[in-house]
Every structure is written in C-alpha cells, then in structure tokens.
Amino acid sequence: MLLIPCPWCGPRDQSEFSYGGQAHIVRPAEPAALGDGEWADYLFMRDNPMGAHREQWCHSGGCRRWFNVKRDTVTYRILAVYKIGESGGEGEGGGGAP
Amino acid sequence: MAEPQSPLHDVAVAGGAAAAEFVSPGGAVRMCELPFLGHFHLRGAPDDAKFLSQVKAALGCALPLTPNTTAAGEAGGVLWLGPDEWWILTAAGGRAEVLQSLEKAVAGMFASLIDQSPGHTVIRIIGEGDGEPARNLLRSGCTLDLHPEHFPPGRCAQTVFAKTNVTLLPAEDEKNRWRCDLVVRRSFADHLWRWLEEGAAGVDGGG
C-alpha cells in the first residue's frame, strides 16, 4: 500500500486515490495530419520504465484533484509530487519533460 | 407538498424518536442523525477578490483557503473541499435564507452554487469520557490519523470510510466531549449507520 502525498491534503492512503496512467502525454495539435501509426502511438503506446516514472493520480476519495507523481517502479518510492501544469523539476523519468 | 423524509427515517421510527439515535451497549459511543441541514456546494475562483468578499459578506465569515480546514459564520459552517470548492452547512431552519443570500452574492459571477441538501445527511458521533472508544470506532472505518493533536476541531477531511465517501468534521461539544460529524450521501446513510451501530458494540470499554 502506498502513502501518497496529495499536494493539497497531505499524505493519504492509496485506497483514496485513482490511478490515471502516464503523465505529460500531449494531444497532437493536428490529429488529422497524423498517420495511423503516429495516432496509435499517441493513443496506446506508454513507457514501461524500470525506475522513475511520471504518472497521474486523482485524489478521488478526497479533494478530487488530479496531480502528477514521479514514482520509482522498482522500489515504489515516490520521488516527487506536483500539481497539473507544473513541471516537477528535472525532465528525467518515464513520461519525459512536459 | 409531502413532508421531507430523512434517509434514516426507518431507524428513527424503530427507535420511537424524531431522528435516528443510538447509544452503544457500554455507553461509550453515542450516535444521532442531524437531518435536513442545508448542504450548499459552492465553486469559484479563490484568486477572485470580488467573489471572496461577496461570499464573505453573505456568510459572515471568509471562505477557508487552507486545505481541509473549516470556518464558522452566522450562516453555519464552511468546509474546504478543494482549492476552488467549498461546502456550506447550515441549520435546518434557515436553509432558504442562506441559499438566497448566497445566490445573490454569486449572481453574474464565474461561480457555481448547488443546493445538495436533499442528497446528504449528517451522522454525529459523540464520544463519552476521553473519546477514545468513539475514535477507535472511526479508526476501524478509515485510515486517517484521528488523534485530536493531528485532527483538531476546525479541520475537516474527505475520505473513504467503510467503502463510501464521507467527510469528517471533528469538534468538541459544550460538555467537552469529543465528537465527529460524518457527512454522507443519502443513499449510503443506512449502510453507514448500520455499520457504525455494529462496530460500536465492539469498541465499548476502550478496546
């Protein structure tokens, strides 16, 4: 069980949160200009790193805000937590820099 | 128009009281429903000075901007729910007036005001003695740290309690007893009440 530090509510039990997948995936500016491969890449392909991974979480059982978490997929240690729209420090990690 | 009916109506009728009541077998935990309170859900920009000042004028207190804190005004209690989201809980009697003055305060503004009163109810837990049995009862339903040092009056917390979403509101009553109000959705009130009733039997005597 993870103890996730919500940027607003502080550390709360994982059971209060919903997972939202990899963070910082930007919707293409011109979807119509993309080929099938690029579109499929945007829709379905996600990083699966061993180590730091940037992901989205929602405090659905609490303040209902979405935020970003940088988590180590090996140790499960949470390395950083930052609000949507913030960069969360250096650009390393699974999701890449925003 | 038909009289409004509390979601714990059946419990109240079975107990022969106006509202649902319960005392644990050992007397350490008391429980009652506070039906028909006004529950107004307010959203607006926390950096909009006009919004903040007009709502403050309507409520008699400023909106709490610190996460998970509450404020008390003439209109009732105000709970922080999110960075741009608040709940205003008012006494059953003055519901219409408070709603009206809030409506006036946010008219024409980038804000939202919803009357959720019929959708929620409040279950009040009162702990006799040091309140520890009552807190133990609540501890078995959620993972929050409920010790008064960490969760004193003036705070609030939304959490998952016994598989449903509940907002906890700790306070101290006029007899210096620890108490906690649980705001719960109407359709889960019966489940939560029966869960608490059953659990209360196990925490009497502090164990």
Q: What domains can be seen in chain B, in order of their start residue? A: 9-36+119-206 (3.30.1360.120), 38-117 (3.30.70.1520)
Whether residue A53 contacts residue A71, with contact meaning beta carbons closer than 8 Å, is answered with: yes
Beta strands B120-127 and B29-34: pairing type?
A: antiparallel
Q: What is the torsional sign of CA A33, A35, A38, A43?
A: positive
Find the helix or strand (DSSP H, E) in which B50 lies.
helix B49-59
Greatest distance between any 2 Cα atoms in chain B: 55
- What percentage of chain B has pLDDT greater than the value 90? 90
Residue in chain B closest to A63 (alpha carbons) equals B82
Question: Which residue in B81, B143, B160 is closest to A63 by CB distance?
Answer: B81
ipTM of the complex as predicted: 0.89
| C-alpha span between B31 and B21 (Å, rounded) | 6
Question: Which residue in B81, B83, B159 is closest to A16 by CB distance?
Answer: B159
Chain B contact set for A15 (CB, 8 A): 143, 160
Mean pLDDT across chain B: 94
Instruction: Determine the average pLDDT of the residues in A21-45.
Output: 95
The pLDDT tens digits for B45-98 are 999 999 999 999 999 999 999 999 999 988 889 999 999 999 999 999 889 999
Cβ contact (<8 Å) for B81 and A12?
A: no
The pLDDT tens digits for B153-206 are 999 999 999 999 999 999 999 999 999 999 999 999 999 999 999 999 888 864
Domain at A1-7+18-25+42-98: CATH architecture: 2-Layer Sandwich (3.30)
Instruction: Determine the average pLDDT of the residues in A12-41.
Output: 95
B10 CA to centre of own chain: 21
pLDDT for the residue numbered A1: 86
The domain segmentation of chain A, as residue ranges, is 1-7+18-25+42-98
Whether residue B17 contacts residue B198, with contact meaning beta carbons closer than 8 Å, is answered with: no
Chain A contact set for B160 (CB, 8 A): 15-16, 61
Q: Is A90 on the interface with B (CB under 8 A)?
A: no
pLDDT for the residue numbered B1: 66
Chain B contact set for A64 (CB, 8 A): 81-82, 85
| C-alpha span between B163 and B191 (Å, rounded) | 10
pLDDT for the residue numbered A90: 56
Q: Is A63 on the interface with B (CB under 8 A)?
A: yes
Q: How many CB atoms lie within 10 A of CB B35?
A: 20
- The letter for the amino acid at B190 is D
